[in-house]
Structure 1
Amino acid sequence: MPSAEHESITRLFQEDPDFAAELLTDVLHLPLPERGEATVGPNDIDEHQSLRRADAVVVYKTPDGEKAALTVIVEVQRARDRDKPYTWPAYIANARNRLECPTYLLVVAPNKEAANWCAKPIDLGHPGFTLRPLVLGPDVIPSITDPRRAAESPELSVLSAIVHATDPQGVNVLEALLHAMRALPGKHALRYAELVRAALPAEVWNALEKKMKTETREILSDFTRARLAEAREEGREEGREEGRTEGKAEAILTLLSMRGLEVPAHVREAVDSCGDQRRLNAWLLAAATVDRAEDLLD
């Protein structure tokens, strides 16, 4: 099962498909064909759909929208995987064959060991036919500590916060992101703040939060309150018991996560499956003060 870090990074490309081209041009400095609208396409690019799937496939149309201009296959790789030297070339060949356009393999590797392994050339055997994956590792992904730069590219700032969280400048990267998030539309900012929180282990998030300036902690509290209000509003707009229940359950889990508490699977399941409004109300109040997520169920 993919890790939370893996899922958070993948979500960035689903939230903004143009992020793939931004990384290729602005970070890796590659020239790309002229292109138009970007969409996240089907990720079952293997000829045999039962085999592994790419994490994300971003397809850019030509400016006139008539056909595909280029395809970017995105893979998030956190460790060595002996199958990848075989599946990656197949992904490129199959996508290129289907869409008949230039195809790129972009690998995001959050740690140095994985990045070094992913960057190794893959010799396919045919003379001159060697695949050199385009790899974004910690040495390539910028450490963004300027809120103005973070605001220019929120997705890159989120990726920077995830990858550089344990660096000496980790708290500065996270603070720059949170300050930049204030300029984004509410729901957009909340989603990105939650992606970072979900990607980081609880102990890392807690350590960073302790180092935050008071002003940044207040921004984080604002995000938490806004997410709770949004969840409650979603429940009201739904106008049904089911909608109210789902909204409160999501608010409880979000509050626990934003407070830096680890939420075990059995707690998440209990909250998600609860249909008792009074119990959910009690849990929502308790979620603001408990020391452990498990204490909700006591």
Structure 2
Amino acid sequence: MVGSSHEALHRIFQKDPALLTRALQRVLHVPFPPPHEIVALNVDLTEIEPVERRVDTLLRAETDDGTYLLVVESQTQADERKRGSWPYYLSYLYEKYRCEPVLIVITQNSATAQWASRPIRLGFPGWHSLTVRPLVLGPDNVPVITDEREAERDVPLAVLSAMTHGRGPKAAPILESLATALKTIDPDSAAVFVQFVDSCLADPQAKQMWRDLMTAIQYFWRHPLAEQVREEGREQGIEEGRIAAQRDMVLRVLEWRGIPVPEDVRERVNACTSPEQLEIWAQRAVHAEEAGELFAASGE
């Protein structure tokens, strides 16, 4: 027996499921396609067994226009399961906090960024019950920061630039400018940023270049990479290790950029014992068109 208008208003569609589609078509003029079959399903949506669902990072932002939940998802590749989980996350968070959720996807891969930026539309064509439009940060829109002054103005953005663009010919000037900018902030924050960049550099040459930079300027901070650098420094003498790392960095930058290194240039770099001179040469190596330009700038 139907005991309330609430119950009657939805149970009529259980009695005649086709009525619902006719109402959509004739009353709302929604072009819902005629169904071949309609089957009633269990209406209980309770999850008896807990299901673990986690977003990567969740932030609450208070603004003059209201409170927003910033849902950050790190994505390495396309994953069609996200078409279900991302709408679930946003709906759940809105129900729990009653704040507008904003989905932000970050990736190092252009193809993944293109995939993630496609709207997720649930419903039928022409009339979607739910649309999720992720905001995507990736190599196609994160700025390439190669200027030291620009990096110093916004160090976290420079870190993000290194994390998303840390491969190919742009890596050397990006990492060099970031290494310089890190000197301008507090050591504890810099230590965290160093580890973030180190973790994101998938290119072995770029990763080695980054570690050479950290060694050469003696970023001895409290994180695993710093401890590794300290141990290497103790084994060969801190000053000697620093100079050797600087020499190696100068040559690595040239080689990694595809610039041939003649034997006389290699011998001259390896014979240098001045940390200041080696640092100048390392900076020139980032922009040089040929190896000889290391010395030509001031007639050295």
TM-score tier (shorter) = 0.5 to 0.7
Which of 103, 106, 111 is equivalent to 2:104?
106
Cα offset, 1:52, TM superposition: 2.7
Separation (CA, whole Å) in 2 of partners of 1:178 and 1:110: 20
Structure 1 partner of 2:196: 195
> SS at 2:79's partner residue?
coil
TM-score (norm 2): 0.55
For residue 122 of structure 1, the aligned residue among 105, 120, 123 is 120
- Quick one: distance in 2 between partners of 1:74 and 1:164? 19
Match of 2:158?
Answer: 157
After TM superposition, the structure 1 = structure 2 runs for residues 195-234 of structure 1, keeping only pairs within 5 Å, are: 195-201=196-202, 203-206=204-207, 208-209=209-210, 217=213, 220-224=215-219, 226-227=220-221, 231=222
Q: TM-score, normalised by structure 1?
A: 0.55
SS of 1:168's equivalent in the other structure is helix
Query: What residue in structure 2 maps to residue 12 of structure 1?
Result: none
Consecutive unaligned residues of structure 2, counting only runs of 5 or more, are 1-46, 242-300
- Where 2:71 maps in the other structure, the secondary structure is strand
- 1:176 paired residue number: 177
What amino acid sits opposite 2:94 in the alignment? R
Secondary structure of the residue that 1:174 maps to in structure 2?
helix
Residue of structure 1 equivalent to 2:71: 73
Q: Cα gap change, 1:47/1:117 in structure 2, threshold over 3 Å: closer, same or farther?
A: farther
CA displacement 1:90-126 (0-9 Å, x = unmatched): 1111111222122100000111121111112211116
Taking the aligned partners of 1:164 and 1:202, their CA distance within structure 2 comes to 10
Contact 2:139 2:165 (C-alpha < 8 Å) held by counterparts: yes
- Asked which structure has the greater RCO (Cα within 8 Å, sep 6+), the reply is 1
From the superposition, tell whether residues 193 and 223 of structure 1 become closer, same or farther in structure 2 (CA, over 3 Å).
farther
Residue matched to 1:254: 226
Q: CA deviation at 1:221?
A: 3.1
Q: Report which of the two structures shows the higher radius of gyration computed on alpha carbons.
A: 2
Question: Using the alignment, how far apart are the partners of 1:94 and 1:177 within structure 2?
Answer: 39
Aligned length: 189
CA contact (8 A) 2:171 2:206 kept: no
**Equivalent-residue separation in structure 1 for 2:148 and 2:142 (angstroms):** 16
Give the root-mean-square deviation of aligned CA atoms: 3.3
Counterpart Cα distance in 2 of 1:116 and 1:255: 39
Q: Which residue of 2 aligns with 1:82?
A: 80
User: Residue 78 of structure 1 contacts residue 110 of structure 1 at CA under 8 Å; is this kept in 2?
Assistant: yes
- Could you tell me whether the CA contact under 8 Å between 2:75 and 2:106 is conserved in 1? yes
| 1:91 alignment partner AA | Y
Contact 2:104 2:134 survives alignment (8 Å):
yes
Q: Which residue of 1 aligns with 2:269?
A: none
Query: Are 1:165 and 1:204, in contact at CA under 8 Å, matched by a contact in 2?
Result: no
Tell me which amino acid in the other structure corresponds to 1:141: V
What is the aligned-residue identity percentage? 28
| Per-residue deviation, 1:195 | 1.6
Give, as a single letter, the amino acid of the residue that structure 1 aligns with 2:116: C
